[in-house]
Every structure is written in C-alpha cells, then in structure tokens.
Structure 1
Amino acid sequence: MTLGLVFGAVLFAGAASGAWGEPEGSPRAPSSSDAHPLGPDPAGADLTPQQARQLVGSSGDRWAAYLSPQQYADLTGGRYAGVGLSVDREAGGPTTVAEVLPGSPAARAGIAPGERLVSVDGTPAEQLPVTELVSRLRGGPAGSAVAVGVRDEAGPVRQLTLTRTELAAREVESDRPAPGVARIAVHAFTEGVADQVRAAAAGARGVVLDLRGNSGGLVAEAVATASVFLDGGPVASYQERGEHRRLDAAPGGDTAVPLVVLVDGGTMSAAELLAGALQDRSRAVLVGSRTFGKGTVQQPSRLADGSVLELTVGRYQTPAGRSPDGTGFQPDVPAAGEDPGALALRVLEGLSAPAAPAAAPAATPAAPAAR
C-alpha cells in the first residue's frame, strides 16, 4: 500500500499539506487528522468540479482540498502551476520569502529571498494561514494572474502582478560543503525523492539533511527517505477511522553515518513525520527552530472523472507516540540567532569526531582485588 501526505499547503505551493497518495489499482490509504467526522467515502462519486468544491467548502475541514486530475498528477509528480515563490513564517512573526526559483515569474519581478510578503490578492498575509497563502499563490492554472505585495526591510510596499507558469519542482539539491560531508536539501516529497537522497548520501562520512521549508508531500517517499538512514523499525503510525496502522522503514539503511536534520517553521507534514521519527529513534540530531505543527492525515478519494478529493481522516504519531499537531517538534539544538546551516555543520563535526580514548586508571599500591 503506497501512502502519501499531500498536506494543505503543498497542494498548490511551496508549503505542502497532507494526504496519503494512492496509485492506480492500489488500496487507498488515509492520512492523519483532527478526527474530523466524515460521511460516506466519496470515492467514485460522479460530481462536477463545482459540486466537489462546494463539498470541500462545507466540510469544515481546514485541510480538505479538491484537485483536478492534472493538478493531482502534477503535485505527486513534482510539477505545478505557480510563481516560483516559497514562504515561511515563524510563530508570531511576519511572512517572509524563503526562496525564489531562478527564472520564475517571481524572480523576473525582482522578488528576493528575505523580503516580506505583505499581501496576496489584496488580503494581508498575516490574516491567512501559511497553507492558505500557498494555496492562493498556486491557486490557478498556468497563464492566470495573482497580485502580491512585497517589501524589503526599509522600502515601501511594491504591488506586483505575477503570471503563473508551469514549473518543475527541484525537490532535492545537494552539495559537499566539506570533505566527506553531504548536505542534502529536500523541498518536498514527490515521486523519486528517496532515491535521490540515497544517491546524494552515498559515500558520505556525514550528512546534513535540510528539511527547512519542506511542506510535505508523499508519505511513502518520506518513509523511504527514513529507510536510507534506518535499518527497519517504526517510522510513524496513524488512526484510520479508529483502526491503528503502522509505517515501517525498510531494512538495510545506513545507521552509522552521522546525521543532522535541519528544521524550521516551514517544516510541515510528511517532513515533520520524518524529522520526528529520526529524533525518536535517536538516529539524528535536529537543529534549527520549532517545526510547523501539522499532524493530520488526509485520504485522497478519486472521483468518477479522475479528480481527487482530499479529506482529513486521522492523526499520525511518531514512534514515541508524539503528534506535532498544533505544537510542532522542538529541535535538539536551537539555532537561537545563529546561522542554522553553519550550526548544523558544527554539530555534525562534533558527531563525526572520534571519541577520545579513556584514560587508563592510575595504579594504586596495595589496591584490593575486588570492590
């Protein structure tokens, strides 16, 4: 059974939301939730797009979503219509531009990382959850327009109109910042991400896995990524309409290479699931700031026309029984004003350093043979 988290935010932008993906012909699997009361499963229902959107709007489920067949294929396959803008928001802080995709509409408009996102389509950014901001940025087909207000630290607000285009997500980026050290940034969990992580980590003597700004994606890929660094055992569990289910890592992962995981307020859903599992299993040191706090699970129900309704059906937990929902996960080493990337490399260096040999006890004349 292939499972996927497509959490509300990543549905349409750089901050993913959560649902369990379901390939053709496979039994469907759900996600983790606020145990929202559901009516009959809508799978196979002959609904028009308008009826499906009305169902989502009236469900009271903040993570529910309607996706056309193409939108669902793009989302799980790593393509989407958007402006190339990823956002982040620390608890109680402003909404900032986390990343701008080179060559994207946002980049051509002169938007730069670190600037403040003030508004989207006239609505102040602080009045909207991050997931809703992402949905609005991606909430239209290629060729449609979205108005954004941005400003740098000292300048006035710039009102810009961006035209969405089809973008290919660069979900995994890696480099070698020091001899033997692999730094791997995973932006979302789409098809094939775990294999890319495995290839990037091959031969490394230490790994920094950067999950900052990762809004989630396919749970199967998050579990497979955990399998790169675990030798079997639990990754997460979830309740599906009262039934307990467990997700396990595949055997044979590298449990010896030192591992640091970078997290922040943009680490959501499936990314939180992965970070929490590695933390609970004492497999990695988490560095950065508190994660977003989305622990609900959505189930994709494929309608008669091939479109998908994602509805919340459960809540996931880490191997130690923790849920990030509403609270997030705290890092083991808070960045506290330091550059998180540099701090992660220092922590990794400490993990990689050989342990000092224990000093031999000094000889004691006439010591007793046993104590």
Structure 2
Amino acid sequence: MSRSHSRLRLQLALGLVFAAVLATGATAGAWGSESPRSSTAAAVDAAARRWVADSGDRWAAYYGPEQYAAMAQALDGRYAGVGLWVVRSPAGVVTVSRVRGDGPAARASVRAGEQLTAVDGRPVTGLPVTEVVALLRGDSPLAGSTVTLALRRGSAAHSVTLRRQLLDAQDVVVDRPAAGITRIAVSAFTGGTGDLVEAAVHQSADRRGRGILLDLRGDSGGLVDESVEAASSFLDGGPVGSYQDGDTVRRLTAEPGGDTAVPLVVLVDGGTMSAAELLTGALQDRDRAVVVGSRTFGKGAVQQATPLPGGAAVERTVGHYRTPDGRDLDGTGITPDVEVPPSAGPQAAERTAITVLDDLAGLSGSGGG
C-alpha cells in the first residue's frame, strides 16, 4: 500500500541523513582525533558510541552487528530464543507461564508452572519481565548461542542449558477465556501484527459473542504502522495519533471500515509500552474502548534505527507521539478507566475486564420480552 511505501521512504531518508552526519563527524574529527583517512567502519562505530553517550537522548542505543541483526529479526516477527514465556508475581517470583511445543525449552522438558530463579547465573527474582526476557535472549541473541536456566519444580531445584533457535514470535495469540469472549493478546507490534489482529476481529464477528478483550499487558511496542493498522480494526477511519518529526507533524490515521460495534475492553499494565500505548490512547480518546488494568509504562518516543558500516546500528529518537486528544504520554503513561492495582494479580484484572465487557454488551445490546 502507498502508506507502507511512504514509511519506507521516510526511514530510508532518515537513515541516509544520519549515517552521513556520523561519517562526516568521524572524518572531520568532530568526535575525536581520527585522521581524515580513518572513516572506516571502526571509526564510525566509535563515533556512534560517543554520540549515544553524549546525546542526552534517553532512548538512544548502539547495537553491535549481532544485536542489530537480532532486532531486525524481531521486527520481522522472528527471534532467537528458547521458546518460553514468563510472568512475575506481586512478590517478584518469576514463573514459566507457557512453553511452546517446538522450542528448545520443550525439548528439555521445561514445564509451565516451574519457577525461574536465575539466567546464566544471574538471579531473576524481582526483575521486571522485560529484563528477564532480555536475559533469555542474551547479549548476542542469535541462533546457536546457549543460555543456562536455574529452575525450581516444587522443592526440587535443577538447571538446564539450552541452545537458542530461530522461532516465529507468535506475537498475537487468540483464545476464549470465557464463553462468548474473544481475547486477542498482542505481545509486540512486529511485521504482520496488524493483519493478525484484523483477522481475529473478523473471526470474532462471525460468532455472536459478548465482546473482545484486547490484551496489551506486557506489550513492549514495536512498529508504529502495525499499531495503526491494529487500530483500524476497531475504528472507521479518523485519527490514531501524531508525532513531531522536526518541524513537521505527521498524522497517523486509521483506515475506514473497522468494526465499531463489538464491545471492546483493553487490558494494560506497567509493561504496556510505546506503540501499544499509542493504540490504547487512540481507543480511549475516541471512546471506542474501556481501558482496564494499571498505569502503562509511559514511553511516548518514536525511534529510528540507522545501519552503520560493518553491520552495527544506532537507534535515536526522531519524535514524540501524541494521542488524538493531544496527550503526550512520555513519562506519564495512560491511566486506565477502571484501575486494578498490580498487587491484585493478573487474574483479578482479567476478571474485572470481563465484568466491564459484560456491562458494555448489556448497554449495546437490545432487549426483548
């Protein structure tokens, strides 16, 4: 579509401009004492690292070649990992919540319900889920690298060393937590996520049901375009948000024809970030959904990764998005319409969401006698 082509041109232009600035800085000695003849990949990498350290951009990051390759894989809906998911209790205990059948963890007989106590010798109790996932994927997260997990099954502790393999991310999972309710759980907005959300909404429309739970808990964000496409599944056109790109305000707009009738509740928590917050804010501002859970993370910045010679990359902030009502969520996050404290646990939030969904279905339905 033309929108995708436009985004590609924008990313390419930004990448070329920024890479040129880095190369010029390295050649001219702007970031050090390199001679004009030393604008090699190593010199550009050194300049990029210094720029990240001195930029004042809290979201700026330098990625080595393996890290950048893994990031590109992740945005394409793939990752090198061991095939398990974790949750953290209010007390900080990290537990394996799900094991995919085709992954290294399943082959090693790791089971849902086991407590994960350490990754490569680092204790994980009390760590945020996002940090635990980062440890599972590793500093050089490519297929073939290994990771050792310390686990506890009941009173018995054991460890297992797994070799990471390339897996489909399965960032959209659809199930039915209760009769007549479709839950669409999105863990990240990678390539194709918007299409999967749309397909799940259409499938739900084929059945008479109580509504949809859009579960964005723990969603770390991802591609803005995929978030906008997911919003289009629930909106009949109109604004999703905007972001400032230099002196230009870029409008993010939903495609027409989404399902505006099905009752909708969005579940969020402190791990709901970035593109997931953009989607939540749009549905909340436009009175399309009731938001249930706890305050979201508060990452309202849009990043652009710029490839460097040798396969490394620098990621920098290129703008801050705002919701349709003009809210800047960076550092503040989204306050749910119906708050459920994190201490109540994930099941309490889900039960509350189902109750709210039934209330919405009662308001939107027709009665008879």
TM range (shorter): 0.7 to 0.9
Cα distance in 1, alignment partners of residues 108 and 47 from structure 2: 34
Cα distance, 1:349–1:107 mapped onto 2, change above 3 Å: same
For residue 320 of structure 1, report the CA deviation from its aligned partner: 2.7
The question of 1:269 aligning with 2:262 is answered no
Aligned counterpart, 1:344: 353
Tell me the distance in 2 between the aligned counterparts of 1:207 and 1:350: 13
Aligned residues: 330
Q: Provide closer, same or farther for how the CA distance between residues 310 and 86 of structure 1 changes in structure 2, counting only shifts above 3 A.
A: farther
1:45-79, CA deviations, whole angstroms, 9 ceiling, x for partnerless residues? 58648964883476134552426474354222211
Q: Letter of the aligned partner of 1:66 in structure 2?
A: Y
Identify which range, 63-72 or 196-205, moves more after superposition. 63-72
Give the conservation status (yes or no) of the 8 Å contact 2:238–2:254.
yes
Q: Distance in 2 between matches of 1:209 and 1:104?
A: 26
Could you tell me which amino acid in structure 1 is paired with residue 61 of structure 2? A
Residue 328 in 1 paired to residue 333 in 2? yes
Q: 1:301 to 1:94 in 2, by over 3 A?
A: same
1:304-323 to structure 2, matched below 5 A, reads 304=309, 308-323=313-328
Query: Which residue is equivalent to 1:59?
Result: 52
1:122-141 alignment runs, 5 A limit: 122-125=121-124, 131-139=130-138, 140-141=141-142
Q: Which residue, 265, 278, 287 being the options, matches 1:260?
A: 265
Deviation, structure 1 residue 216: 1.5
In the alignment, which residue of structure 1 is the partner of 2:147?
146
Please list every run of 5 or more consecutive structure 2 residues that lacks an aligned counterpart in the other structure. Answer: 24-38
Task: Provide the residue aligned with 2:19 in structure 1.
Answer: 42
Aligned to 1:283: 288
Indicate the larger mover: 256-265 or 125-134: 125-134
State the distance in 1 between where 2:110 and 2:289 align: 35
Q: 1:274 to 1:199 in 2, by over 3 A?
A: same
Cα offset for 1:103? 3.3
2:236·2:260 contact (CA, 8 Å) conserved in 1?
Answer: yes
Aligned to 2:102: 103
3-state SS in 1 of match to 2:48: helix
> What does residue range 1-371 of structure 1 map to in structure 2 within 5 Å?
23=8, 26-28=9-11, 41-42=18-19, 48=41, 52=45, 55-56=48-49, 59-60=52-53, 61-66=58-63, 68=65, 70-88=69-87, 93-113=92-112, 115-125=114-124, 131-139=130-138, 140-151=141-152, 155=155, 158-177=158-177, 180-202=180-202, 203=205, 204=207, 205=209, 206-241=211-246, 243-304=248-309, 308-336=313-341, 337=344, 338-354=347-363
Per-residue CA distance 1:155-199 (angstroms, 9 max, x = gap): 466443221111111122223455653221222212222222122
- Conserved in 1, the CA contact under 8 Å of 2:151 and 2:158? yes
Change (3 A) 1:227 1:126: same
Residues 118, 314 of structure 1: alpha-carbon distance in 2 compared, 3 angstrom cutoff:
farther
Q: Deviations over 1:57-105 (max 9, x none)?
A: 7613455242647435422221111122334558884555454333322
Per-residue deviation, 1:223: 0.5
Quote the Cα distance in structure 1 between the aligned partners of 2:95 and 2:247. Answer: 39
Equivalents in 2 of 1:150, 1:119: separation in Å?
Answer: 7
Instruction: Quickly say closer, same or farther: Cα 1:272–1:116, change in 2 above 3 A.
Output: farther
| Secondary structure of 1:190's aligned partner | coil
Structure with greater contact order relative to length (CA < 8 Å, sep ≥ 6)? 1
Structure 2 counterpart SS, 1:28:
helix
Structure whose residues are more often helix by fraction: 2
Question: Quick one: distance in 2 between partners of 1:276 and 1:146?
Answer: 37
Separation in 2, partners of 1:313, 1:219: 13
Q: Deviations over 1:324-349 (max 9, x none)?
A: 43443232223453533333222211
Give me the whole-angstrom Cα distance separating, in 2, the residues matched to 1:58 and 1:109: 43
Contact 1:53–1:66 (CA<8 Å) still a contact in 2? no
Q: What SS is found at the alignment partner of 2:233? A: helix
Alignment partner, residue 362 of structure 1 = none
